[in-house]
Structure 1
Amino acid sequence: MKANNLMKGGSFLVAEVDASTIFTPEDFNEEHLMIANLTEDFIDQEIDPYDEVLERQDFTLLLKLIKKAGEVGLLGAAVPEAYGGTNLDRVSSTLIYEKMVRSSSYSLTLSAHIGIGTLPIVLFGTKQQQQKYLPHSVRGDQVFAYCLTEPSSGSDALSAKTTAVLSEDGAHYLLNGTKQFITNAAFADVFIVYAKVDSKHFSAFIVEKKFQGVSTGAEEKKMGIKGSSTRQLILEDVKVPVENVLGEVGKGHVIAFNILNLGRHSLAAGCVGSSKWAVELAVGYACRRKQFNQTIAEFPLIQKKLADMAIFTYAAESIVYRTAGLMDTFKKTVDPNVANHEQTIEGIAEYAIECSMNKVFATECLDFVADEGLQIHGGYGFTQEYKIERIYRDSRINRIFEGTNEINRLLIPGLLFRRATKGDLSLFESAKKLEQELITYIPSTWDMGVPFLQEKAMLSSAKRIFLMIVGIAIEKYKQQIEEQQEILEIIANVSMQVFSMESVILRTNKAVDKEGIVRAKQKWNMTSAFTQESFSKIESMAKEALVIMEDGDQLKMKLAMLKKLVRFHPKNLLPIKRQIAEKIIEQGKYVV
């Protein structure tokens, strides 16, 4: 992709997107594939042999293996070369997160270290801070942790109670407070801590474990991710030098929110990797397990489960790498001679909407896939002898990590409306224009035998439905729209379905143009099935929204308009899903 093809965040909802402008997994270059293989080999050879030991929290071994990851270059993907990193593109980092997940809790430890732990210093640190801390992060001889959540503040992070008071001589800040659910707390050397200066200015600090007054609580007894460390961080009159303020005093929210945006995308990448793993485990078991004198993989209902698992994963994979590509395209517009990260940070904020969509969609994909994978295993799936049991338990935290899915569902429309109000997104204008268009709108006809015509028509209608709901909501609730959380949830869900529908359609369209329909048959089948089922969800959600917002003659009129937009002939998905499952069973894994 070229920099001049830059798409603004959220703009896919109001504009047509050309397939050639998006990044897909089929666009991986040799360097991307090399990084993916390096990560896979490292997990297979260095981590997997110690899997059970690591799951029992052998932190001494864990720290040795973190250093090994540093030796092969897996800890410095986002760190500038000047500090020992490799400064890879976002697609490469995404691949590392995807491939790393097969190491279970070890991957969480590494992700917290290289992601939310180190990135605040990469993006917001002074040159002195970067010189002091980043080389240690890249080598793995110091482990980093991120400390935002508190016992009384989770989603409402800005209500933190941790305080920072400047000393009389101006040499240090005195920090007091407790941080909750801190990953890597048991062995972290460096903590990114958020506190309020003078109880009101939300700020970030770099706190070292060796500072007097720093301690941790007992390990949390968790449902999953058992091999990782999760503790409280306790700060009692901790003297933090003023040079360890990260960014500006009172601007901690800028750091917190942007780091969370990246964290959401990284988490989504890991969920894609885990979903692929769950499909592989499920199909492997289904092909081995015999009942009634045949393998259960031969049963149509099992095949349907495998197909549904793969289809959902294909959509999640498509949006994750599309978003990585958006970030990389934005990065190409940054002047490399400018010695600051302001433009990079701007690029992260630009795609905050897409990052939240990635997080919600991919975490719910993994929960579905893990659940179906366990079901295919039957009673054995409920035992720790089979890895699917661990995937199932470990997956549940993802819908809570990096802002709960409920919070992210409120963030999505909030960010969309904010961009529209600032003039960065023609959302309100497009909704108003559609209102007039729908009065005389006549559905177009198409040849169902031509690939993509119906799918693209559904996508176009889906965008109109989204704009219709938004237009009615804004007109009805005006400034009180923020109080209508049920409607905001529907707006978020419809927008996510549009993003995922468009991503799979464009990805497959691009593949068909390059490879031909025969070679891209699996992608085409997945796209056909996902588009139809996603569109059905949009129709159902739109009806729900209209019934909530309208009544009487207005409701009848709006439902009549909706009926025009959903006038499509449904396809028989049974043979399509059987073909998808057949390919997966043949290959013994998720395959596109």
Structure 2
Amino acid sequence: MEELLSFLFKRIKEQKAYSREDFTEEQKEIFEMVSNFAKEEIFPKRKELSRINKELTFEVLKKASDLGLAKAEIPEEYDGLGLSKATAAIIAEGLSKGSCESICVTFFAHTGIGTLPILYYGTEEQKKKYLPKLGNLEILSSYALTEPQAGSDVSSIKTEAKKDENFYVLNGQKQFITNAGWADLFILFAKTSKKDISAFIIERGTEGLSVGQEEEKMGIKGSSTCSVILENCKVPKENLLSEEGKGMEIALNILNVGRFKLGAATMGGSKSCFDFALEYALQRKQFGLPIAFFEPIRFKIAQCASFIFSADSIVYRTADLFENVKGKDLEKYAVEASICKIFGSETLGKVADHSIQILGGYGFSEEYLPAQVYKDTRIDRIYEGTNEINRLVIYAYILRDSLLEKIPLRNFAKNFERIENLKFESWEEKFLEISRNLIIYLFERAIVKYGQDLRQEGILGEILSDLVIYQYSSSSAYLRYLKSKRKEHLLATQIFLFEFFKEVSSKVPIVIPLIFEEYEIEKEEKKIFNLIYSLKPIYNYSKLIKNFTDMIYHNKKYFLD
């Protein structure tokens, strides 16, 4: 099992990162099979699937089930395939090739947060009863946590479960529940005491459970989203998941897996949207030239491709971290999971926005793919924990693990003064080593000043989290290049490091007066600004963009896989 936050506490040359270059032949075949299924069965029907159409949705889901896609992570003893987390991410990426987020939302809510709680926390009887049916999509599952007054703050849920002999009697309401209108099964959370939250498996048709009307949504209109009402709903005691009071652990740890999978799906969606915009840019002529060859468009194409490359790199690196990890141990990689969710969703948002701009007036028309992607992907930054909450997860976990001495933050911060004496084999390595040590130093000084109260320093915390996100993303991209030795991978990494440099240059000056005392600021600014200056890219940015986009234009698609 990989050490906690090894991407921060190991030198780049000592780090390991699984990537798609490590795929087995079987995984490559699965990716091709799922991608072809998405292109043939989902893409042609994406407009019909992007509005409520239960019959067509279930028809497509049945075909996916026939390929074994819903049982990938379920062990063989429960009629599953027992495939790896990386393969689950491959399936998520492949299905996104259909460019229909509605059906992906339905499928992933079922196979992920709707199934994994039973797999990781269910009794043997519960697993035998439900997992084979879930894996074969005989029944559809839903995950009911959010309430009208309780979104990001899980502890504030009001739904109650009171024990009554052989039953629990539940009362309350859940809000914005994916799959609720179609689900046969609900993984639902309720308070069993003032402090304790517990999880339950509730079957549709249970007396006292009812489902509200479909929500009128901005995007993902083809998925079912409803409220769930519980009025003296009697749930058999054997449908309690794990034990009383385990609900918070179940909720948060299952979300960790869901977040990294969302990263995979949004990364795959980014590639499809990118290819659509690229094809248009190469065909559309203005002033006698394809618009792809104008510098502002080159910049958008290069930036999108470099972000997608980094998103791909972190998704499969994180998938490998989660391999053979379950239960409470899922929390160990909460930071990396949150990074996948944030970076993947914001990358797809960026790609969709740039794609609309590249298409101009056509981009604003819903006849074209980017407009639909733009509306559908907006939810990605909200569910599975808002991106603001996920940034809080990053700095709160680093704070907690530092105070508990689970990570050697203080010891490593002492090495900050010596970073300039290290020898590096490349500018990229130098950049990542200096940025890594700078982030550790800033975090350590922030904790020295604020202690536990750092959780309340939202502006500072978000900036520190953004630096961590860029460190993980850029180091993953660079490690992937070291493995592949492909020139295009190096160019993508270098362009992304330009983005990282802009992030450091603009945000670290804001941080300094927040974490250092007034008498320290001048000295610390000089030291830190000298280091930031040493990160200055050594390449001609315009030439880098041109070389990279020329390679993309030659291939006429995203070609970095």
Q: TM-score range by the shorter chain?
A: over 0.9
2: CA distance, partners of 1:27 / 1:253: 35
String of CA shifts for 1:258-298, please: whole Å, max 9, x gaps. 10000100101011001111110110111221222222122
Look up the match of 1:457.
430
Q: Superposition pairs for residues 545-564 of structure 1, below 5 Å?
A: 545-550=511-516, 552-564=518-530
In structure 1, how many angstroms separate the alpha carbons of the residues matched to 2:247 and 2:227?
20
The partner residue of 1:542 within 504, 508, 515 is 508
| CA distance in structure 1 between the aligned counterparts of 2:504 and 2:121, rounded to whole angstroms | 40
Name the structure 2 match of 1:334.
Answer: none
- Which sits farther off after the overlay, 411-420 or 90-99? 411-420
Q: Residue 527 of structure 1: SS of its match in structure 2?
A: helix
Change in CA separation of 1:370 and 1:393 when aligned onto 2, cut-off 3 Å? same
Asked if 1:274 is matched to 2:269, the reply is yes
CA positional deviation for 1:208: 0.7
User: Of the candidates 365, 384, 396, which is equivalent to residue 402 of structure 1?
Assistant: 384
Aligned with residue 135 of structure 1, among 111, 132, 143: 132
Contact between 2:105 and 2:223, CA under 8 Å: does it hold in 1? yes
Q: Determine which of 430, 436, 444 is the counterpart of 1:471.
A: 444
Residue by residue over 1:54-93, the C-alpha shift from the partner in whole angstroms, topping out at 9 and shown as x without a partner, is 2221112212322221111010011111111101001100
Q: Secondary structure at the match of 2:385?
A: coil
Q: Is the 1:125–1:246 contact (alpha carbons within 8 Å) kept by the matching residues of 2?
A: yes
- Deviations, residues 137-195 of structure 1 (Å, cap 9, x unaligned): 1111100000000000000011100011111xx21111111111111111100000000
C-alpha deviations, 1:1-57, integer Å up to 9, x for none?
xxxxx4213122122144773211111111111111121122223233332222221
Are residues 356 and 119 of structure 1, via their aligned partners in 2, closer, same or farther at CA, if it must alter by over 3 Å? Answer: same
CA gap 1:23/1:242 in 2 versus in 1, 3 angstroms: same
Conserved 8 A contact 2:12-2:429: no
Aligned mate of 2:496, from 530, 551, 555: 530
**Do residues 507 (structure 1) and 480 (structure 2) align?**
yes
Q: 2:168·2:237 contact (CA, 8 Å) conserved in 1? A: yes
Give the drift of 1:429: 2.3
| Corresponding residue of 2:559 | 591
| Partner residue in 2 for 1:350 | 332
Equivalences, count: 556
- Shift in CA distance, 164/442, structure 1 to aligned 2, threshold 3 Å: closer
TM-superposed CA distance for 1:591, in Å, is 1.4
> Are 2:178 and 2:223, in contact at CA under 8 Å, matched by a contact in 1?
yes
Residue among 62, 72, 80 paired with 2:75? 80
CA apart distance, 1:472: 1.8
CA distance in 1, matches of 2:520, 2:39: 61
Find out whether 1:288 has 2:254 as its counterpart: no
1: distance between equivalents of 2:308 and 2:446?
32
Offset from partner CA, 1:403-460 (integer Å, 9 cap, x none):
11111111111111222233321112222x13xx52x7646677xxxxx611111111
Paired residue secondary structure (2:200): strand
In structure 2, the gaps of 5 or more residues are none
Which residues in structure 2 correspond to 1:38-53 (within 5 Å)? 38-53=33-48
Over the aligned positions, Cα root-mean-square deviation in angstroms equals 1.7
Structure 1 partner of 2:456:
483
Find the aligned partners of 2:208 and 2:513 in 1 and give their Cα distance. Answer: 57
1:426 aligns with 2:408: yes
Structure 1 residue 114 and structure 2 residue 111: aligned?
yes
8 Å Cα contact 2:249-2:328 kept in structure 1: no
**Contact preservation (8 Å) 1:163, 1:199:** no
C-alpha displacement of 1:327: 2.0
Equivalent AA in structure 2 for residue 558 of structure 1: E
Q: Which residue of 1 aligns with 2:102?
A: 105
Name 2:178's counterpart in structure 1.
183
Counterparts of residues 288-437 of structure 1 (less than 5 Å) = 288-328=283-323, 331=324, 344-431=326-413, 433-434=414-415, 437=416
Is 1:19–1:507's contact at 8 Å kept on the other side of the alignment?
no
Contact 2:200 2:240 in 1 (8 A): yes
Residue 542 of structure 2: aligned partner: 574
SS of alignment partner, residue 257 of structure 2: helix
More deviation in 466-475 or 252-261?
466-475
Contact 2:170 2:231 (8 Å CA) reproduced: yes
Q: Secondary structure at the match of 2:71?
A: coil
**Map 1:188-199 → 2, pairs under 5 A:** 188-199=183-194
- Secondary structure of the 1:194 match is strand
Percent identity reads: 38
Residue in structure 2 matched with residue 59 of structure 1 by the alignment: 54
Distance (Å, rounded) in 1 between the aligned partners of 2:52 and 2:498: 45
- Flag the 1:445–1:66 CA change in 2: closer, same or farther, 3 A: closer
Q: SS in structure 2 opposite 1:117?
A: coil
Q: Work out whether residues 442 and 564 of structure 1, in 8 Å CA contact, stay in contact via their aligned partners in 2.
A: no
Is the 1:149–1:157 contact (alpha carbons within 8 Å) kept by the matching residues of 2? yes
Counterparts in 2 of 1:441 and 1:366: CA distance versus 1, 3 Å? closer
Alignment CA distance shift 1:408-1:441 (3 Å): closer
Distance 1:310 1:184 in 2: 33
User: Which residue does 1:124 correspond to in 2?
Assistant: 121
Distance in 1 separating the partners of 2:465 and 2:107: 31
- 1:557-589 deviations in Å (ceiling 9; x for gaps): 001110232224432111111121112222221
Task: Tell me the CA shift for residue 344 of structure 1.
Answer: 2.4
Q: Which amino acid in the other structure matches residue 369 of structure 1?
A: V
What letter matches 2:468 in structure 1? S
Q: Which amino acid aligns with 1:147?
A: A
Measure, in 2, the Cα distance between the counterparts of 1:443 and 1:382.
Answer: 53
Q: Is the 8 A contact 1:9 1:353 kept in 2?
A: no
Q: Is the 8 A contact 2:92 2:261 kept in 1?
A: yes
Q: Which amino acid aligns with 2:300?
A: K
Query: Could you say what secondary structure the match of 1:369 adopts?
Result: helix
**Offset, 1:483:** 1.9
Letter paired with 2:554? E
Distance in 1, matches of 2:472 and 2:44, equals 39
> 1: distance between equivalents of 2:111 and 2:102?
14
Q: Is the 8 A contact 1:19 1:510 kept in 2?
A: no
Asked if 1 retains the 8 angstrom alpha-carbon contact of 2:211 and 2:226, the reply is yes
Contact 1:11–1:425 (CA under 8 A) maintained in structure 2: no
Cα contact 2:419–2:437 (8 A) shared by 1: no
Q: Report deviation, 1:535.
A: 2.6
Give 1:211 deviation, angstroms.
0.5
- Structure 2 residue matching 1:351: 3-state secondary structure: helix
The alpha-carbon distance between structure 1 residues 442 and 189, as it changes in their structure 2 partners (threshold 3 A), is: closer
Partner of 2:146: 149
| Structure 1 equivalent of residue 158 of structure 2 | 161
Measure, in 1, the Cα distance between the counterparts of 2:13 and 2:199. Answer: 41
